[in-house]
Amino acid sequence: MVKVWGHGEGDDFTCPHCQARYAVTITRLPVRDRDSATCQKCGQVMKTWNSTESYSYSLIEEG
């Protein structure tokens, strides 16, 4: 049986450093991915991961 990989919307995320708000999309990968997301407004790292889930952040509102 083959596993189907997909993506979906996550909860909105607020940067803990500057309060900018982001929409989050989560993508399921067949292998682990190590990456991080950096805030477009303040440049601080918001999240790091080493997982089969990859996160994409789209700025909704500057804090």
Domain boundaries, the chain: 7-61
The DSSP H or E segment spanning 30 is strand 21-38
* Model pLDDT, residue 1: 44
Confidence of residue 11 (pLDDT cuts 50, 70, 90): confident
Tokens found for residue 24? 């989050």
Q: For 27-42, what is each residue's pLDDT tens digit?
A: 888 989 899 999 999 9
Confidence of residue 61 (pLDDT cuts 50, 70, 90): very high
